[in-house]
Amino acid sequence: MNEPSIITSANNPIIKEIKGLKTKKGRAKAQAFLLEGSRLVLDAVHSDAQIKYLIVSDTYAEKGEYLSEKIHKIRTIQIPDRLFTNISEIESPQGIMAIAEIPQYDEHNMLEGASRIIALENLQDPGNIGTIIRTSDACGFDAVIVSRDSADIYNPKVIRSTMGAVFHLPVIEVHDFYGTLRIAKEKGLSIAAAHTRKSEPCWKVNLANNIVIVIGNEANGISDKLLGLADSTIMIPMNSRAESLNAAAAASILIYESMRQSCLK
């Protein structure tokens, strides 16, 4: 680790910047977000994420742990353990966090070359969003599109749930969710909406390629506006004793089914 700058005051501008990144408004203003824990920071560094600062506690610095040779190039801030605990979002912090710049993607360029996309309409649970991003990455999807009324994709709970997947594929919060889906259709992608009523079993619909799978709100499902755009509606047949699956579980099954079909092509 390079020679750190020492900060001891909670009123230091960098500490105030970190605290500001705990809100969606603060993250949007700074165009940056927080990463916490060795694994997330290491994954970000190895994925060439743009890291503004690395922040370590006194105890972590004393261990002299080298996560990566690339870390030597990152500006490092060392702060007292008590101050680190104060700004941490984790109950038992590991003593390392980073401020990373929010990646910038061009949604039109992304749609140009994409074959399999997951789109999230008004999802509110950060854990669901993070799990879906992680599963999309594991199953080789090209991108995740998120509506603006969903939970913030750079919420710390989302970032932790992705387990680093947010650095491996484009995750884009789009200004005009339905307009973006219309453009996707114009570019030859079909819209398959996860819906429980009057829908085809997921394995009967072509999800192998040129597809956007849409997952709706946890409580209300897919909106009527989205249904009007959909080329098909798909469902996961279940044992009659199970009323439904949560959004992340349903999305994961559909994402895997898409990968399975793609492998058979």
Alpha-carbon distance 133 to 57, whole Å?
30
HSE-CB at 189 with a 13 A cutoff on CA atoms is 27
- Give the residue range(s) of CATH 3.40.1280.10 domains in the chain: 107-264
Q: 126-138 and 247-264 helices cross at what angle (nearest 10)?
A: 10
Question: CB of 49 within 8 A of CB of 167?
Answer: yes
What's the confidence (pLDDT) of residue 72? 66
Evaluate if residue 207 carries a pLDDT over 90. yes
What's the confidence (pLDDT) of residue 265? 73
| Residue 42 CB partners (closer than 8 Å, separation 6+) | 67, 68
**Which pLDDT band holds residue 260 (cuts at 50, 70, 90)?**
very high
Evaluate if residue 243 carries a pLDDT over 80. no
- Give the residue range(s) of CATH 3.30.1330.30 domains in the chain: 5-101
Q: Give me the CATH code for the 5-101 domain, please.
A: 3.30.1330.30
The predicted-structure confidence for 168-201, as pLDDT tens digits, reads as follows 899 999 999 999 999 999 999 999 999 988 899 9
**Which pLDDT band holds residue 107 (cuts at 50, 70, 90)?**
confident
Evaluate if residue 232 carries a pLDDT over 80. yes
* Domain at 107-264: CATH architecture: 3-Layer(aba) Sandwich (3.40)
Lowest mean pLDDT among 83-87, 91-95, 189-193, 208-212: 91-95
